[in-house]
Structure 1
Amino acid sequence: MRRHELTNQEWELLAPLIPRAATGSPRVSDRQIINGMVYKIRTGISWRDLPERYGPWQTLYTRFRRYALAGMFTRALQQIQARADAAGDIDWLVQIDSTIVRAHQHAAATGRTNRNDHALGRSRGGLTTKIHLACDGRGRPLAVLVTPGQRHDSICARPLPERIRVPRTGPGRPRCRPGHVIADKAYSSRGFRAYLRKQGIAHTIPQKTDQQRHRQNRGSRGGRPPGFDREIYRRRNVVERCFNRLKGFRGIATRYDKTATSYEAAVSLASFLLWARSV
């Protein structure tokens, strides 16, 4: 095993999910191809510059795009989450947050298509993408959402938790509901709090200063302030540490992929590796 390649344990977890070709000429080893993909997102290298030991770069790119469009890496992430949940290894004290990623000039060449369709947005730092992340209490990704960089966190407050789908190893529907949600002030809105209450999800979200002032100005009509547990909120740094580990992958810390599908697939593959090294 070389640097930036799958361990035997990681390969055993991923191998059953890779589609097999029923007919045709013998193809490059699946493990060799996946190792090339991992090497690519670890180093941020161009597809054309991948070492020859991983096979033709065209084969790696074609296979990666096929897997990305089929959602294979998302399914792999859900399967390893299912195994952890069956073992009682998931801490359902869920934290949500987002981080900005600078888009390289190669990612910005999307042709005539709308940049928003590829999760590219214009912000102070130029063309950027935003990764919205929900992680468990041990700092492992549960759900990922990729949007243009200027998209406000509150807009993705509902879609992000709704992406949590941890399948059961036996019969039953996937688990989609966190036990508790921790978020920062960007997610403080009446609509999101009402949504969490309706779903029966406890939450710890600090209230914005202007919201506090508005409630106080209304007097008794402003109602009671939302509950806030400082001890629980101190655990919010777990999601920041999760972002730090994800950005250890150079292909995640800077976006080189032209399409949102490919970039989100790369984030899902990196998330799978974080899980594989913790179970």
Structure 2
Amino acid sequence: MSDLIWLSEAQMHRIEPYFPLSHGVPRVDDRRIISGIIFVIRNGLRWRDAPADYGPPKTIYNRFIRWSRMGVFSKIFAGLAAQGGEPDQLMIDATHLKAHRTAASLLKKGLFPDVLDAPKVD
């Protein structure tokens, strides 16, 4: 099971303050469920294809959806980014920025700035 856990104890302690409080019934092991979420997203799998060691796929999916809607993951990312200070470099990986086929018609519909009327640079 240890090779399936993505986060160390120290990493879990850093993000635990951002978790919502449990009401009533204790939650399933957060570390195991978070590792399942990371595994599914990292590998581009369907929720039901997560290994059984992470717990029931429905639990992994429900936790991801519920916490996403509550903004838990956004708070974690913002909090960790704020602790890191000012970055030396910023890099953008455009391999995941895909335009939908209808994006080509935005210019015709007037929803995209017309670059043809821009002043020419000589």
TM above 0.5: yes
Deviations 1:208-255 (A, max 9, x none): 897452x66xxxxxxxxxxxxxxxxxxxxxxxxxxxxxxxxxxxxxxx
Q: Is structure 2 residue 103 aligned with structure 1 residue 150?
A: yes
Say which structure is richer in helix.
2
1:150 CA displacement? 2.6
Q: Is structure 2 residue 17 aligned with structure 1 residue 16?
A: yes
* Fraction of identical pairs, as percent: 29
Misfit runs of 4+, over 2 Å: 7-10, 91-101, 149-152, 208-212
Note the residue ranges of structure 2 that are not aligned, 5 or more in a row. Answer: 107-112
Mapped contact 1:35–1:54 kept (Cα < 8 A): yes
Q: C-alpha distance in 2, partners of 1:68/1:209?
A: 41
Q: TM-score, normalised by structure 1?
A: 0.34
Mapped contact 2:5–2:32 kept (Cα < 8 A): no
Specify the alignment match of 1:54 in structure 2. Answer: 54
Specify the alignment match of 1:75 in structure 2. Answer: 75
Distance 1:57-1:3 versus aligned 2 partners, 3 A rule: closer
Distance 1:93-1:67 versus aligned 2 partners, 3 A rule: same
Q: C-alpha distance in 2, partners of 1:76/1:44?
A: 21
Show the 5 A alignment for 1:111-126. Answer: 122-123=100-101
Q: CA RMSD in A?
A: 3.2
Amino acid in structure 1 at the alignment position of 2:7: L
Mapped contact 1:47–1:61 kept (Cα < 8 A): yes
Say which structure is richer in strand.
1
Q: TM-score, normalised by structure 2?
A: 0.71
Q: C-alpha distance in 1, partners of 2:117/2:8?
A: 51
Specify the alignment match of 1:107 in structure 2. Answer: none
